[in-house]
Amino acid sequence: MSTILILHCSAGAGHRSVARAIDEALTRCCESDEESAPTPPYRENSAVGVLSGETPHHLIADSLCFSGPPFRAMCSKGYEFFARHIRWACGMGYVLLDKPFSRSLLVRAVQKTSNLAVEGLAGFLAENVVDVVCCTHFMPMTLIGDLRRKGLYDGRLHVCVTDYDIQGLWFEPEVDRYYVATAKGAARLAGWGIPKERISVTGIPVRHEFTTLPPPPFRDEADIRPLRVLFSAGSLKNREALRLLREAASCGAPLDIIVVTGRTPSLRKALAAYTPPPHVRLELRGFEPHLERLMADADILLTKPGGITCTEGLCAGLPMLFVHPIPMQEVHNARILEQAGAGRSCFTPGSAGRALAELHKNRGRLAVMRAACLRLAHPEAAAVVGTNLLEGLRSVPKPIPTPSTVQATRLSDGKSAETAR
């Protein structure tokens, strides 16, 4: 029986969310037309994940579960710490590693360390027949690419990029199919030498709950009800979230604010000590398993511009105000969506409050932003990726460009790749 393996990395929740969305889409694709079984609850064990679906099998796994506890903790907890407290370091790492053709010691060291750390995955592939691997993070992608170059894995490799721009670590000539969010991202991969026929602009997959939301409520200029603001604060520092809450509440507009603090009890406690003015209603929530319901009822989403949260907002037709981005990566997400009219960057103190006051007075602008969100949304992305993965089971891998030929393609002066090195 054919097997599809979906690999994510628990360094950030977004990669796991995308993997789960693809897994759920595969389950729906494999359901019988005569008897539609419900999507099984998402579970994941120490390494291989959960076997869901029947024909074919599809597995979902955290690639870090194939590594030792120290490396696993360094990646998952370390990324969370840096993303919350030392964002400038994340931005610096983005720049230093955004060199797909670099032969620097830093790039090679990062990739080599990652591959050695998750080499247990190579053992799993050697012991089990896996026909297609789909990666939602560049770490397992790089390892699978190396295994293919060494002849240790002969299946297909698909990759789903989880941001709106593409960083150099996502470059891997062994990939049979890339799924990207935008035409700009596709052009960047093509510029690096990845054949265009191997790149699909699908949008970023999101869970099924976000693809079946009702149309967003219409609010015309005569609607004087308070703006309903959904504030996703779980990945912010306590003082950042409190400052933004005070800024929003003091903008002068009547607001209904729901703050989702996630699994951060200290953040909820810090915000609970704040008393808003009379024209602002405040509700605090912790981890919210049905965020799509809150998005469906909101007028504005106040959030960091992470790729998955932004994509969920687009599917909900929810205008966004972007705050406290991770340098480079999330700044690029915000810029792309702002240029398309779906959101507004509020990176400077006071700018979020001013934006809320303006949008309260100009409900027509909200309607324009809402239409832009729906225009950009790809609610079918997970289904498209799932269908392509199933198609990959029935097709034979095409010849793969080597790193040398890919680099030679991008050289404009006619030199060979060997000379260029």
Residue-level pLDDT at 378: 95
CA dihedral over 178, 180, 184, 188, signed as positive or negative? negative
pLDDT tens-digit profile, the chain (421 residues): 689 999 998 877 788 999 999 999 998 887 743 344 444 444 443 344 433 434 678 999 988 888 767 666 666 665 666 666 676 666 566 565 666 655 455 555 555 555 555 667 888 888 888 999 999 998 889 889 988 988 889 999 999 999 998 888 898 999 999 999 999 999 999 999 999 999 999 999 999 999 888 877 666 666 678 999 999 998 899 999 999 999 999 999 999 999 999 888 999 999 999 999 999 999 999 998 899 999 999 999 999 999 999 999 999 999 999 999 988 789 999 999 999 999 999 999 899 999 999 999 888 899 999 999 999 999 999 999 999 999 877 664 444 443 333 333 333 333 333 333 3
Verdict on whether the full-model pTM lies above 0.85: no
> Kind of pairing, strands 51-52 and 57-62?
antiparallel
Let me know: does 187 contact 196? Beta carbons within 8 Å: no
Tokens of 317: 């037709």
In this structure, are residues 177 and 195 in contact, taking their beta carbons and an 8 Å threshold? no
Question: How far apart, in whole angstroms, are the C-alpha atoms of residue 269 and residue 51?
Answer: 39
Torsion of CA 209, 341, 92, 96, to 10 degrees: 90
Number of H helices, E strands in the chain: 17, 13
233 CA to centre of own chain: 17
What CA–CA distance (Å, rounded) separates 264 from 241? 12
- For the purposes of burial, counting CB atoms within 10 Å of the CB of 70, is it exposed (0-12), middle (13-18) or buried (19 or more)? exposed
Alpha helices in 253-304 (DSSP H): 265-272, 291-297
> Which two tokens mark 350?
């006071």
Domains along the chain?
A: 3-206+380-420 (3.40.50), 212-376 (3.40.50.2000)
Residue 402 has phi, psi (to 5 degrees) of -80, 165
pLDDT score, position 124: 87
E strands within 118-248?
A: 132-135, 156-160, 177-180, 199-201, 227-232
Q: How far is CA 320 from the centre of its chain?
A: 16
| Token representation of residue 275 | 């008393």
Residue 281's beta-bridge partner residues? 256
The per-residue pLDDT for 364 is 87
Residue showing tokens 């705050």:
323
